[in-house]
Structure 1
Amino acid sequence: MNTRIRILAAAALAAGLALGATGCALDGGKAAQPFMDAPKGSIDKLPMDVVVMSDGFSNLGAKCDGPNRVYVIFHGNDKYGSVAVVPNDPRCTAR
């Protein structure tokens, strides 16, 4: 009977580990879900000005979107960042 309990316990542990591993693999984070965004209109792939901070991780990028200058601040590959907009920036009207 002792062997039977060990076999059942090992099977239960294996099933629990398999379910746990499957749950982690399905989550995968935002990087693993590239096409789960809202529908897209036009895409601007023109280069942006990038400012790399001395730590190499906290950076910002800026580019014009029509007459507005858009700044995106990000930290490495982390899941947070921020956006700031300067409306009617003179650098954007020269295009």
Structure 2
Amino acid sequence: MSRLTVLAIGVTVAALALTGCTDNKYSEPFKDAPRSHVNNNAPMDVVNGSDGFSNVGTKCDHGNRVYVAYHGDEKYAAVAVVPQDPTCRGSN
């Protein structure tokens, strides 16, 4: 996967996270935009931050590790991608 593709995925995830209109993003069933298909429905591993700190979700997608930091139901988040993360070998 090229760096441009990874960057595009990161920008898309960040845009969706920053512009969400839901009251409860934990239970929102992808009602934010039309999608042609789902590539990766695997659950994220969640790291709960201490009180007052952001939580982090992480998962592998096509060999790349994606991190999303979020804070409760607030409408902001941060995204980071580790291209071709060795811990993601064999992931879809």
Alpha-carbon distance between aligned partners in 2 of 1:51 and 1:36, rounded to the nearest angstrom: 24
Question: Higher RCO, 1 or 2 (CA under 8 Å, sep at least 6)?
Answer: 2
Runs ≥4 residues deviating over 4 A: none
- The structure with the larger Rg is 1
Please give the TM-score of this superposition, normalised by the length of structure 1. 0.58
Count, aligned residues: 67
Paired amino acid for 2:50: S
TM-aligned CA distance change 1:41 to 1:56, over 3 Å: farther
Deviation at 1:43, TM superposition (A): 4.5
Q: CA RMSD in A?
A: 2.5
Q: Confirm or deny that 1:89 pairs with 2:82.
A: no
Flag structure 2 segments of 5+ consecutive residues without an equivalent. Answer: 1-19
SS at match of 2:22: helix
1:75 to 71, 74, 84: 71
TM-score (norm 2): 0.60
**SS of residue paired to 1:37:** coil
Question: What is the CA-CA distance between 1:56 and the residue it aligns to?
Answer: 6.5
Deviation at 1:76, TM superposition (A): 0.7
In structure 1, runs of 5+ residues without a counterpart are: 1-28
Aligned sequence identity (%): 49
